Amino acid sequence: MSRENFMVAAGAIVTYNGKVLLGKKIEKEDHPMSDQWHFPGGHIEEGEDPEEAAKREVEEETGLEGEIFQLVEVNSSSQVDQGPDNLVRVLYHMEADSDDAEPEEDLKEVKWVEPSEVEEEVGKIDKGYMEGSERIGKFLEKLEKMPSF
């Protein structure tokens, strides 16, 4: 595989008052997450810091700003049997400044869900990442136990 075809993406488990934000991609024939719920995120631009890319992608897709608190997971498409076979994804926890999310850019819908509902809501690719990683599930379990403010 050449470096030119290798992709790196950054995304976030965005939270606000104990809920998790999911975005639903628009239907697009050539996109592996077409019409699926997922954690907001996208490709890192050349020379861009992954944390800044995650914040940029969240803002572009939902209009939300916030603060990154921690790295949750770095995973590769080898953990998933769907989607691109040359992708590494960096996933952060981001606390949003508000819950006023709107579907922008390539999303057709957004919604806030309980951490315990995330796995049943996300599409096959994010579900695959969750099944391939204990860290995402453990992180969501900790969110469920945390008090909301």
Q: Residue 146 — pLDDT band, cuts 50, 70, 90?
A: confident
For 100-114, what is the mean pLDDT? 95
Helices (H), 20-92: 50-62
Question: Cα torsion at 51, 53, 54, 60 (round to 10°)?
Answer: 150
For 54-71, what is the mean pLDDT? 97
128 pLDDT higher than 50: yes
Residues found in the chain: 149
Residues 6+ apart with CB under 8 A from 74: 88, 89, 90, 91
Residue 18 near residue 148, CB atoms below 8 Å: yes
**Domains, the chain, ranges and CATH?**
3-145 (3.90.79.10)
Q: Residue 1 — pLDDT band, cuts 50, 70, 90?
A: very low
49 pLDDT higher than 80: yes
DSSP assignment letter at 122: S
Taking the C-alpha atoms of residue 20 and residue 112, their distance in angstroms, rounded to an integer, is 5
Global pTM? 0.89
Q: Residue 112 — pLDDT band, cuts 50, 70, 90?
A: very high
Q: What is the pLDDT of residue 76?
A: 79
